[in-house]
A and B are shown apart, each in its own frame.
Chain A
Amino acid sequence: NAGVTQTPKFQVLKTGQSMTLQCAQDMNHNSMYWYRQDPGMGLRLIYYSASEGTTDKGEVPNGYNVSRLNKREFSLRLESAAPSQTSVYFCASSEVQWNEQFFGPGTRLTVL
């Protein structure tokens, strides 16, 4: 039982490059989330998926897209990376929307 897994753990991009962050959970949770964490700003919600087949914008969706591929997987795509997207990205899941969330280990992304 791995919980929430994220790949990659680290990534360095050049401005304008694209990439997809992968997230998978094996707890049969309905809801999944993508957050970014920046020093002194806590967690900010980028997108979430309340259930399979639905996605909604969070607080900071600009520059990102998501896909809820199936119940297990929820990916985050940066189409044209910018230095302002340098951050640590966390995926989380929960059985009930907005209740206890289980987090992955994070992806540390640097955009040069």
Chain B
Amino acid sequence: AQSVTQLDSQVPVFEEAPVELRCNYSSSVSVYLFWYVQYPNQGLQLLLKYLSGSTLVKGINGFEAEFNKSQTSFHLRKPSVHISDTAEYFCAVTLDSNYQLIWGAGTKLIIKP
């Protein structure tokens, strides 16, 4: 069975510092990968997705993620975070449109002034 692991439940980082949020999945076949963001007291919205093609994917708000098939990872990065990036970030994986989306437990990004 597929699983998604977000290794850090919380990541504190100073404003304007870089950040990496880690996501690993268990699958030996091709996957579709997603990162969603949830701002406080709101629903989730898509940050970026990898379906095929270039392994470096750029999303909204300056975020990007790199698909690494050999390490089964899809880590999310931003070179300089802002206080407005305070949110919870969720990684999700599916094999294709016939399979349920599997969600990670989420990582809370805490921006320190």
Contacts and interface: CB of A to CB of B under 8 A. Distances in A.
Contacts of B106: 40, 42
Contacts, number: 52
Interface residues of B, number: 21
A32 B3 CA distance: 22
> Is the contact region of chain A dominated by helix, strand, or loop, or is it mixed?
loop
B46 interface: yes
Interface in A73-112: 90, 92, 96-106
A98 B101 contact: yes
B43, B96, B98, B100 — most chain A CB neighbours (10 Å): B43
A69 interface: no
A84 B104 CA distance: 21
A106 B90 contact: no
B9 to A, nearest CB: 7
Interface string A42-86: 111100100000000011000000000000000000000000000
Given A4-B43, A106-B43, A42 B97 contact: no
Contacts of A44: 103
Nearest to B45: A103
B42 interface: yes
Nearest to B44: A103
A2 interface: no
Contacts of B42: 105-106
Contact of A98 (B9, B100, B104): B100
Contact of A97 (B90, B97, B103): B97
B67 interface: no
A58 B99 CA distance: 11
Task: Give 5 closest A-B pairs by Cβ, nearest first.
Answer: A103-B43, A42-B105, A42-B103, A103-B44, A43-B103
Interface of A: 4, 40-45, 48, 58-59, 90, 92, 96-106
